[in-house]
Structure 1
Amino acid sequence: MGYLGARMRQRRQILARYGKALAIPAAIVCILALSIMFVADVYLHHALEKTIAYDAENRARNWSEDIISRTPELELIAIGRSPDRGGLDGLRGSAEKNGIYWIRLYSPKGLLLLDLDDSGFHPASDRHSGDAIAREAFRSGEGQTTLRETTDSDGLSRVLVETYIPVDSHDGRRFGVMKVTVDQTGFAQSLNGVFHNLNILLIFGSAVVYLIPSLVLIFKAEQLRGKDKALLELSQFDPLTGLLNRREFNNRCAALFDRRRFQLIGILFVDVDRFKNVNDDLGHEFGDALLKHISTRIVSALGPTDLIGRIGGDEFMIVSSFTTRSDLADLGNAIQAAIDAPFSHNGTTITPSLSLGGHVSRPGETLEAAIHAADLATYQAKANGRAQLVMYSPEMGSAQDRRRAIEAMLRDALASDSGLFVEYQPIFGNKAAEIVGFEALLRLRSQRGNPISPAEFIPIAEDSGLIVQIGEWTLTKVLKTARDWPEDLFVAVNLSAVQFKDGNIVEMVRDRLFEAAFDPARLELEVTESLILESDEDVKEQLAALKAMGVSIALDDFGTGYSSLGYLWKYQFDKLKLDRAFLEGFNFASDKYRQVISTIVELGQNLGMELTAEGVETPQQLSMLAEIGFDQFQGFLLGRPMSADAAAALLTTEPHRKAAG
């Protein structure tokens, strides 16, 4: 109660003082009222001047920003060239139309370069030679506004507001200061009329009633000024990184390309590698922190005239003027070096990487074509393995055209159920004496009947996301075919890492098995090591769910990666498939080679896995692998990929378990 009691006593004292004031004779009240009105009148006069100056400053800034973008003669004057008379006449006309009374352009040192008032253009030498306010405005980058009252040659009073405005070219380079004088006589007279009426009301009111409008006016003016500044920032800058946003960056790039003559312009397209994985695995808050870190590091590597913008979620673009291919490559490498360090946030540390595409645009090339070239180079950098810089070459355009054609071919194949088909390669067991299953191999044929290599169309299907639909189409087709085989034969189907990222793989496999009334124990799903490396826990859960259905999981292409051994125990695969590349170029008579293969077999056996050797092409390979202890064999020596009808015909032969080669 101590604090509350003190506050209550304070209020009682205030009320007591006011009570005494009410007892003061009416004459004293009138004197106080007049004193208050005098003070209020002085305060309102200040508010009037501030409002007039604020309105004039806004008009001057809006007009100057517009006229600078449309009058290149101003920049020419700043660098010492003679202005075009037509351009100056247009400048004068625009000034008169917008109520601009006087225009002056100063150099960075405050020297007068251009003098233009309502009577016309005056040579700079006819005026003064320097302006301290202009020099300070150029140095600080902050404008200054002054209101003054004067009398013209006709004896008429004028209210003029002078605003010094630093002016920048389209590429952000400051080249001078413009002093814009706005005639606010009419506006001042209008406001004076308003405040005169308020004074009349105040005579019959109180000092408090008189003060409120001016306070509200000042508050609203400051509030509007703050809102205008915030809206301007939102319209030009990315709120997360503080860089130029896509719209403003494109506008400035377009202006740069429009006014260049013989200038080389370098463009760097920057893409943050695997940023979607960062957001998905570590959360959007971590992703935002990473983007701010990356943008800061990129800016640290740029030169003072380089332009940078955030043009997408994880994409940045940099424009560097007067550059060569070598200079642009050096800039890209400097950015890579600036990023190549661990980044920590909230206890989590990663090392980010960037894929960069560079292109040097020559005169005559459009902005759209230059950006497209840099984009192609970036795509090539990602296709080459990411975390690198690739400079554009014309051949990339042809490669991109082919990629688009294959993607369109895949879309048409899905829509028309033609073009895509499945072949089946037999897998042998019992020391290659009998067929135990088939591997389903997806194929694509163009409309002209030309085969497209899986090594070419599968990555395109993955990058475009079509692999999810294609994978479902393939499994449906394969299960329908294998359903008619003998019940002791299995079928192996390859899965892509993209199908696991989609998150629907378990449900899709379950639905297709149910639809085909196919025994899950006869289905083998093959995955590669790249899947495990990209998303550890998520993949582990999905693989466990698939195994719980009774489906077998095989690790395909074993021996081509660098961390397979570390994951064998963790994922509990049912089978290892030794990659064909492991059999190429080895000396089969070498004891060391046999020991390596034997070690793999022993490891698999100890973990309870079956072992399949892929790419068996010679009797020598088959004999050695069978002797070492492989369970199953696959390769051209035993049987080439064949159509579904050919596979069915093979199984009807007697005996159908012999080698099919």
Structure 2
Amino acid sequence: MPPLAIPSDAAERLPELAGDGASEGPPQSGADPVFDHISELARRCAGTEIAMLSLVDHDLLRFRSCVGLELHTSSLPRGASLCGQTVLSRDPLIVADAQSDPRAQAHPLVTGPPHVRFYAGFPLISSGGFQLGSLCVFGHEPRQLDGQQVDSLQRLAALAAHRCEELSRSHSQAAEPAEAEQASPGLLGREEILRQLERKVAQAAGHPFALVRCRLRDHERINAAFGAAVAEACLAEASRRLLAVLPPGGAIGGIGEGDLLVLWPDPPPPERLDALGQRLTTAVSQLHRVGDVSVGMAMAVGIAVARGHGESSQALLADGGLALQRACTIQGCAWHGLDAQSRSATLGGFRFASEFHTALDERDLAPSFQPIVDPASGRPLGFEALARWQHQGQLLPPARFLPEARDAGLTGEVDLLMLEKALAALPQLAEAPGGQPAAPMLMSVNLSSGVLSDPSLGARLLERLEAATLPAGWTLQVELLEEAFHASSAAVDAFLQRLAALQVSVAIDDFGTGYSSLARLISLPIQRVKLDRSFIAQLDSGSRSPRTLLSRMVLMLRDLDLAITAEGVDSAVQRAWLLEQGIRSAQGYLFAPPLLLHEAVAWLGGQAVGAGERPSP
């Protein structure tokens, strides 16, 4: 299973887990008895052998109750738990048969003791709208829950969440005297600002207000560099500056590390929300000095407006969170107001990201194969495997989904999957007419810098290559972006040397768009450079400058004894220039688009049949 995502609201959610009154030992050693009663009722309601109640913090699943199974630990890593997935959604996670469900079939609890076949997890949702953990039931046989059972288990989960909040409030009240001494004047605590939010929601029909979620961008970095005292002083200064511009009837409170919640009365109409966002970000933006340290006060602001149209506090907090996430994608002081259109776009983006993660987990991505040819004769020289995703009837190119992979740190997993599928396709290509060439054919795959920077991903890739057997006459090539060679690294150099030892060719992709040290090009086992399509496209303009630049690049690369492939060749003019320069490797729509595997096999056959009819130089 790939690593579980960290909930985007972790900064707000984690404080609600504090002080839940649980012991540090296993659940049976004295956790709150109310939790045990809830777990037992859940087990009876579902008719299962096991029920468990747990809280999920940043990276651990913390058990609070378990009936039907003896546990000898108080926590597990989130990635080792089924319950860690439940907290990622507000809806129940029900797995009728774990052995046939791709979300669970490889899980240790399914493949080993206690051999779970049925699982149902119900998120514990706080009054603030945050998923605190889950109430889960496990069974040894596949089963289905009827509507009444689901409703009853959701009610039990709500009771458990309420109990967590009761215990958290008791802990907070005990700590209030010490905290009160450090609190900024006018800055409310989390519980009080959320109570005020509930009151304002009830009055919103006659008194509309804006819910504003503010995040001090550098809070975590300041904390790491200068300590918690400086970070909290900066947050206190941000709240003081916001209080200075807050109209009467407004309120401000802290809801998490680096985050503030502002309730702004009488907000402007939607078309003038930009004035409010500008006012808030401007109020905070000036540098702040703490002792001899000057720190930036850039703040991201998300705005959601309650105008008495049936909004709930949880919905407003969620909308404010969506708006804040959009603001966080913009550098520096930035704001975003959520309206119906942007809400739809943002939620659509989250759904798309979730569907992509599922597709990657279920290995639904597949390569298309773009032919690499000799531009003089059209003779096949190989293929480049390009990631594609069949999504809702469309074959999506990497530009549509790789940003999601980068944001989630999953580009390396995409690379490994494409490598595996490209290697698996080689036998079919090799058996096609024209697939047994006299000269070696290339299968080229892309590797992101994530594979180079993550030793575990690099090791997995090398294991796959060591186990692979290529058909006769075929060679594997990996393409790395130019940026991957910026910094000298003994580990990267050793990785590239291992590739060379495995007879894997290394190419620089999109050459000319980044920066490469000539010394690195000479010292590393690089055999080929691929000229970026942006340079090739300019050949159609007839301008002298791009032709001169490309000519100099070609001469330099030849002096370095590097093979050259031109990408994005789409016109006869471009092909003619390449032939003038003596370049004998190219790919682009002039020759063939990316092809599905069966299309690539048919294309090879067509090339073999029409070998005598290829275009002449």
Same fold flag (TM > 0.5): yes
1:614 to 540, 548, 567: 567
Equivalent residue in structure 2 for 1:388, among 317, 334, 339: 334
- Equivalent in 315, 326, 334 of residue 369 of structure 1: 315
Distance 2:490 2:186 in 1: 40
Which residue number in structure 2 is paired with residue 37 of structure 1? Answer: none
Q: Give the C-alpha shift of residue 625 in structure 1.
A: 3.2
State the match for 2:390 in structure 1: 445
Q: Contact 1:423/1:641 (CA < 8 Å) preserved in 2? A: yes
- In the TM superposition, what whole-angstrom CA distance separates every residue of 1:247-267 from its partner, at most 9, and x where no partner exists? 554344334434445333223
Once the two structures are superposed, residues 140-188 of structure 1 have per-residue CA deviations (whole angstroms, 9 ceiling, x without a partner) of xxxxxxxxxxxxxxxxxxxxxxxxxxxxxxxxxxxxxxxxxxxxxxxxx
In the alignment, is residue 319 of structure 1 matched against residue 268 of structure 2? Answer: no
Change (3 A) 1:469 1:509: same
Compare CA radii of gyration and give the structure with the larger one: 1
For 1:617, what is the secondary structure of its paired residue?
coil
1:334, CA displacement in angstroms? 5.2
Find out whether 1:654 has 2:608 as its counterpart.
Answer: yes
Task: Please say if 1:303 is aligned against 2:256.
Answer: no
Q: Aligned to 1:457, which of 380, 390, 401? A: 401
| Secondary structure, counterpart of 2:242 in structure 1 | coil
One of 504, 510, 513 as aligned partner of 2:465 = 513
Q: Which amino acid aligns with 2:417?
A: W
Q: Deviations for 1:169-227, whole angstroms, at most 9, x for unmatched residues?
A: xxxxxxxxxxxxxxxxxxxxxxxxxxxxxxxxxxxxxxxxxxxxxxxxxxxxxxxxxx9
Q: Among residues 447, 471, 490, which one is paired with 1:495 in the alignment?
A: 447
Measured against aligned partners, the alpha-carbon deviations of 1:104-132 in whole angstroms (never above 9, x if no partner) come to xxxxxxxxxxxxxxxxxxxxxxxxxxxxx
Map residues 418-567 of structure 1 onto 2, 5 A cutoff: 418=364, 420-429=365-374, 433-446=378-391, 449-482=393-426, 485=430, 488-496=440-448, 504-517=456-469, 522-528=475-481, 540=489, 543-549=492-498, 550=500, 551-559=504-512, 564-565=514-515
Deviations 1:630-653 (A, max 9, x none): 563210011211122333454455
What displacement does 1:510 show?
A: 1.0
2:290 counterpart of 1:360:
no
Code of the aligned partner of 2:418: T
Q: More deviation in 572-581 or 367-376?
A: 572-581
Which of 175, 181, 197 does residue 253 from structure 1 map onto? 197
Q: Is the 8 A contact 1:266 1:323 kept in 2?
A: yes
1:232 positional shift: 0.3
Tell me if structure 1 keeps the 8 A contact 2:239–2:260: no
Q: For 2:613 and 2:285, locate their aligned partners in 1 and report how far apart those are by CA, in whole Å.
A: 54
Which residue number in structure 2 is paired with residue 30 of structure 1?
Answer: none
Contact 1:639 1:660 in 2 (8 A): no
* CA shift for structure 1 position 618: 0.5
State the SS of the aligned residue for 1:303.
helix
When the two chains are superposed, the root-mean-square deviation of aligned CA atoms in Å is: 4.8
Cα distance between partner residues in 1 of 2:236 and 2:586: 55
8 Å CA contact retained: 1:491, 1:523? yes
- Whether the 8 Å contact between 2:285 and 2:333 is mirrored in structure 1 is no
- Alpha-carbon distance in 2 for matches of 1:287, 1:643: 54
Per-residue deviation, 1:556: 3.3
Number of positions where the alignment pairs a residue of Structure 1 with one of Structure 2: 421
Does residue 571 of structure 2 align to residue 625 of structure 1? Answer: no
In the alignment, what sits opposite 2:595? 642
Q: In the alignment, is residue 407 of structure 1 matched against residue 353 of structure 2?
A: yes
Unaligned 5+ segments in structure 2 are 1-170, 431-435
Cα displacement string for residues 480-509 of structure 1 (whole angstroms, at most 9, x for unaligned residues): 223664682332223345556665321121
Q: What is the distance in 1 between the residues matched to 2:183 and 2:377?
A: 65
Q: Give the direction of change, closer, same or farther, for the CA distance of 1:345–1:246 in structure 2 (3 Å limit).
A: same
The alpha-carbon deviation at position 440 of structure 1 amounts to 0.9
How far apart are 1:309 and its partner, in Å? 4.5
Query: What is residue 6 of structure 1 aligned with on the other side?
Result: none
Determine the structure 1 residue equivalent to 2:55.
Answer: none
Going from structure 1 to structure 2, the CA distance change for 1:377 and 1:481 (only over 3 Å counts) comes to: same
2-structure distance, mates of 1:361, 1:457? 34
TM-score in terms of structure 1 length? 0.52
> How far did 1:478 drift?
1.4
**Compared with structure 1, are the counterparts of its residues 391 and 499 closer, same or farther at alpha carbon in structure 2 (3 Å cutoff)?**
farther
Distance 1:546 1:654 in 2: 37
The SS at the match of 1:654 is helix
Deviations 1:25-66 (A, max 9, x none): xxxxxxxxxxxxxxxxxxxxxxxxxxxxxxxxxxxxxxxxxx
- RCO (CA 8 Å, sep 6+): is it higher in 1 or 2? 2
In 2 relative to 1, CA 233–522 (structure 1 residues): closer, same or farther, beyond 3 Å?
Answer: farther
Distance 2:385 2:230 in 1: 42
CA distance in 1, matches of 2:409, 2:554: 36
Q: Is the 8 A contact 1:527 1:554 kept in 2?
A: yes
Q: How far apart, in 1, do the equivalents of 2:305 and 2:241 lie?
A: 18
Alignment-derived partner of residue 263 in structure 1 = 207
Cα distance between partner residues in 2 of 1:497 and 1:272: 30
- Counterpart CA distance in 2 for 1:528 and 1:240 is 49
Aligned to 1:329: 274
SS in 2 for 1:504: helix
- TM-score (structure 2 length as normaliser): 0.55
Percent identity among equivalent residues?
24
1:565 partner SS: coil
What do residues 536-595 of structure 1 show as CA deviations (whole Å, max 9, x unaligned)?
76x9555434312125554434455xxx23666557665443333444466532212312
- Alpha-carbon distance between aligned partners in 2 of 1:659 and 1:575, rounded to the nearest angstrom: 29
- How far residue 351 of structure 1 moved from its aligned partner, in angstroms, is 7.0
Cα deviation digits, residues 312-370 of structure 1 (max 9, x gap): 45554433233325775345435655776889999999978554433333223222222
Per-residue deviation, residues 232-258 of structure 1 (Å, max 9, x unmatched): 057789999997665554344334434
The offset of 1:442, in angstroms, is 1.3
Amino acid corresponding to residue 497 of structure 2 in structure 1: A
Tell me the amino acid that sits aligned with residue 305 of structure 2.
Answer: V
Cα–Cα, structure 1 residues 598 and 478, in superposed 2: closer, same or farther, change >3 Å?
same
Distance 1:526 1:274 in 2: 36
- Amino acid in structure 1 at the alignment position of 2:426: A
Q: SS of 2:461's equivalent?
A: helix
The answer on whether the counterparts of 1:301 and 1:331 sit within 8 Å (CA) in structure 2 is no
**Contact kept in structure 1, 2:187 and 2:239, CA below 8 Å:** no
Q: Name the CA distance, whole Å, in 2 between partners of 1:657 and 1:342.
A: 70
